[in-house]
Structure 1
Amino acid sequence: MVEEILALKKRGLTIKQIAEEMDSTVGKIQYRLRKLQKLDQKSSFKKARVQVTSVLSPRNIPSSYELDRIVLLPQGPHTIYAYWDLKAITRNMVAHHFTKSWSDLNKKLRVYDISDLHFNGHNCHLYFDICLPEMTDNWFINDLEENRTFIIDFGIQPDSSEFFTVLRSDPVETPRTEGGSMRHSEGVNRWKSGDQKSPEWYEQFSTYSIYSLLK
């Protein structure tokens, strides 16, 4: 019946003319056409879904975007998530420098606490290293102190050699816990009350956060 309706519709007949031709009612013809339309929509949706799934398949996600960068995302007062990417030419240059294949180099993250400092690569409050397994491009850094500013380097440290920085992140600050106090709350109160002529933290004020917004 549907095939006959479509054939008559293709000839240019109206719904009323098709109903008369098939000795049926307009309502029945409309019902058949609506049902056919729904089936077509479902079929189109399934095809589109298959196409989208194919596009988003992990097999189609590149292993590298050919960018030299390391990005930090605070995940809470005590955790930062870091992910990074390296250009092939950068990996090749580093491997050539150390005369080793990239896979044979010892890769590390170096985490610096630079709270209230103009960081020059050395003058941090403290730092610690994280040894990375091969083929790693992201890491969760846990057990950090809240309300502190951190910078993280991705680098190489050959045996008995100094740490060689390959990538350096922008600074990020871990948030305070609920009810926690600001790092300079006492100094702010002394300044506001007039006991201090200028903010105590002014000389060590870090411009990193402002700089990162202006870049």
Structure 2
Amino acid sequence: MVEEILALKKKGYTIKQIAKEMDSTVGKVQYRLRKLQSQQNMSENKKEMEYESRQVPPTWNIPSSYELDRIVLLPQGPESLYIYWDLQSSTRHMVSHHFRKPWSELKKKLRVYDVSDLIFNGHNSHRNIDISLPETTDNWFLNDLKANRTFIVDFGIQPDSSDFFTVLRSAPIETPRTESDSKRQDAVKKWKAGDCKTPEWHEQFSSYSIYSLLK
């Protein structure tokens, strides 16, 4: 019936003439045409939605963990460092098993070591400070440090009745020097001028920069 209506409409027939030609009513002819229009609209909307879905790029969510055991230090200025870290699930499980406590109940801390001009053995830092961490924290800003100093940071657990337990240890990093910082500058000038054969800082030279390059 719809095909006949469309054929007559194409010839220029009015709705009334189509109804008379088909021995039907104007209402039935209008109903058929409205239904056809509705079907066509639905089909067009479906095509548009399919096209848009192909054009929208996939969304990417940042994972809460990359399942890596690492801690990274980034200098933010002469007196500040930014730290972030990540742990594998297996490492968390191992530490929890060792202390016989759920990971969420263990006290987490950062231990910051000043190891300037030292070959650090885990105990011989110039000084160290401890920072208690809120649960689920995975990054931290360290402020009020000294410029042109070398730091190492441990992420670890502080049990109630034992010493600090290191889980992750960072590579060493040096805070930038300030314009007024004269550390080693006089020695460098003397060496450049030929006033001394061996640089005065040679005996205290830190191997960390070499270690970082070799690593």
TM-score computed with the length of structure 2 as normaliser: 0.70
Distance apart, 1:50 and its partner CA: 4.2
Please give the root-mean-square deviation of Cα atoms over the aligned residues, in Å: 2.2
Which is further off, 116-125 or 186-195? 186-195
Structure 1 residue aligned with 2:128: 127
Distance apart, 1:62 and its partner CA: 1.4
Map 1:67-146; keep pairs closer than 5 Å.
67-146=68-147
8 Å Cα contact 1:147-1:182 kept in structure 2:
no
Distance apart, 1:182 and its partner CA: 4.4
Structure 2, unaligned runs of 5 or more: 1-49
Distance apart, 1:119 and its partner CA: 1.0
Pick the structure with greater CA Rg.
2
SS in 2 for 1:155: strand
Distance apart, 1:196 and its partner CA: 4.1
Distance apart, 1:120 and its partner CA: 1.1
Structure 2 residue aligned with 1:51: 57
Write the letter of the residue equivalent to 1:152.
V
CA deviations over 1:88-146 (Å, ceiling 9, x no partner): 11111111111111111110011111111111111111110110000000001111111
SS in 2 for 1:135: coil
Percent identity of equivalent pairs: 67
Distance apart, 1:197 and its partner CA: 4.1
Q: C-alpha separation between the residues in 2 aligned to 1:167 and 1:131? A: 15
Structure 1 residue aligned with 2:181: 181
Aligned residues: 167
8 Å Cα contact 1:116-1:201 kept in structure 2:
no
The answer to whether structure 1 residue 211 and structure 2 residue 211 are counterparts is yes
Change in Cα spacing, 1:101 to 1:201, as seen in structure 2 (3 Å) is same
TM-score computed with the length of structure 1 as normaliser: 0.70
Structure 2 residue aligned with 1:159: 160
CA deviations over 1:41-83 (Å, ceiling 9, x no partner): xx97x7577435xx23xxx221111100001111111111000
Q: C-alpha separation between the residues in 1 aligned to 2:70 and 2:182? A: 30
Structure 1, unaligned runs of 5 or more: 1-42
Change in Cα spacing, 1:198 to 1:68, as seen in structure 2 (3 Å) is same
